[in-house]
Amino acid sequence: MPSPRQIPYIFNLARQRGMDVDEVRAMTPNGSISKMSTQEASILIDALKRGVPPDYSQRPRGYHKRPVATRRPRKRKGVVRYPSTEQAKLWCDLVKEIRTMWGWTSAEMGKWLSKRRFKGGGPMNRPISSNDIVEGIEFLKIVRIKARRAIQSRQRSATRETVSP
């Protein structure tokens, strides 16, 4: 069955060519406009536009179809803004720095982050929105400070043990 826009379009083109309904029906393969397929209606529209008899063995040219608009992908539910490239770079740099401080692999760091949650409820190894990244950056800065302090205290205690007999 033709689309709801194709039927009036066919009759409008036929009226412009001075044709009546019977002449249009004679051009259809089944003798009925409502029994045509969408593709057959497209072929008939092409033929009426060019002023030639329809050839149903050919594919329709498709220039009468409305172009499909390209759309940006929709944001996930609850996402106000995606993270900027600067935010994402800072996030990655902090994760790498902490990972090297602790001597972990990427998988171990990812597993550790997946156990922590953002305020929105998602795991920290997958920041989605700009708010998640900001919250995660602040968290990682605190972790970095604590890790540095722990390393410094270990170094101090190690030097004390080696110096005192």
What confidence tens digit (pLDDT) does each residue in 5-52 have? 888 888 899 899 888 888 888 888 888 888 888 888 888 888 888 888
Same domain, 11 and 43: yes
159 with 91, same domain: the answer is yes
Q: What's residue 76's pLDDT?
A: 62
90 within some domain = yes
Q: The whole model's pTM is what?
A: 0.49
Q: Is residue 79 part of a domain?
A: no
pLDDT beneath 50: ranges in the chain:
none
* Same domain? 2 vs 52: yes
> What is the reported pLDDT for 98?
93
22 is a domain residue? yes
Is residue 72 in some structural domain?
Answer: no
**Quick check: is 71 in a domain?**
no
Residue 132 in any domain: the answer is yes
**Residue type at 115 in one-letter notation:** K
Same domain, 62 and 122: no
- pLDDT on residue 79: 63
- Which one, of 45, 39, 36, 34, lies nearest residue 57 by Cα? 39
Cα torsion 43, 46, 47, 50 to 10°: value is -170
Same domain? For 62 and 97 the reply is no
**Structural domain that includes position 36:** 1-66
**Boundary-marking domain end, from 38, 66, 94:** 66
- 154 contacts: CB under 8 Å, gap ≥ 6: none
Whether residue 136 is contained in a domain is answered as yes
